[in-house]
Structure 1
């Protein structure tokens, strides 16, 4: 396995719409290797989610593992949110593509998501809390959106100023 480069804001690829993954590609060794490389990259970063556009691949798939032990890796290929709870929740979000910047983002507290797993089998799951937030965050990446897009103009400006300051220090 190998660590992948993560694109950082304002890279233009982060704003592009990812294309669905053809079912026949899922079993290809290169695709499976890319999933393994993404998990290695995400865990080392460290992060709890990573979408293909963040590694400069405009395909509609993502990985997630919100556990402390990093022992429940989930793969979502061509994910779609089928329903969202009316109850909203604010979680402090960060992003591997906007390192060092965090902000409270309000999202649906619960969702039902459908996708294909890493073997191409369809599945659906109802989740809430941090896992629901993470899945919504990563699906945003597949749609060319970033967590800062959910912030007010003032908070977005403050977040981007913080990013610029962090980059100056580095």
Structure 2
């Protein structure tokens, strides 16, 4: 398991839709393990392969220690409830910033496990939010695109300010 570098917003690779996984092999299992270690190190509760520059439809979530980590390969949103909720979201690619995003309160997804077996999962609350957030990322939609233009512009300016290198002070002699 290796901690991989996380690409940062506004890297263009975050806007590219990820390709479906077709090979369910040791390389995929290694990628899932690396994603888990990278996410824990970030720290975060969800990560996609595109976050580390790999354009494949792989998601790892770890919402609590009791439930443990879960890997979702080629996830697809099958159904979403009409009920909505607001939830504070952020990204490992834009650390230190978050905002309220409106999402469906419950969803059903289909996906494959790392061995290629088809699965279905229904979720609500935080897990439902995470599924929607990470599937958006796999589709090339960074979470701030769900915000109003004004909120998005404010967050981007704040992130630029946070990540700007400090000004060098002239030598005092």
Q: Summarize the Cα distance change of 1:70–1:142 in structure 2 as closer, same or farther, 3 Å threshold.
A: farther
Q: Deviations over 1:9-39 (max 9, x none)?
A: 11111000111111xx11x222211110110
Structure 1 residue 94 displacement after superposition: 0.7
Q: Give the CA RMSD over aligned residues.
A: 1.2
Gaps of 5+ in 1: none
1:161 paired to 2:149: no
Match of 1:131 among 127, 147, 152: 127
Aligned length: 166
Matched residue, 2:170: none
Matched residue, 2:83: 87
Rounded to whole Å, the distance in 2 between the matches of 1:40 and 1:94 is 18
1:149 paired to 2:153: no
Matched residue, 1:65: 62
| Structure ranking higher in helix proportion | 1
Gaps of 5+ in 2: 167-173
Q: Deviations over 1:48-101 (max 9, x none)?
A: 11011111111111111111x275211111110100000000100010011111
Matched residue, 1:2: 2
Matched residue, 2:21: 21
Q: Please state whether the residue corresponding to 2:159 is helix, strand or coil.
A: helix
Rounded to whole Å, the distance in 2 between the matches of 1:127 and 1:154 is 31
Matched residue, 1:78: 74
Q: Please state whether the residue corresponding to 1:131 is helix, strand or coil.
A: helix
Rounded to whole Å, the distance in 2 between the matches of 1:4 and 1:70 is 25
- Greater Rg over alpha carbons, structure: 2
Matched residue, 2:37: 40
Rounded to whole Å, the distance in 2 between the matches of 1:141 and 1:127 is 18
Rounded to whole Å, the distance in 1 between the matches of 2:29 and 2:134 is 19
TM-score of the aligned structures, taking structure 2 as reference length: 0.92
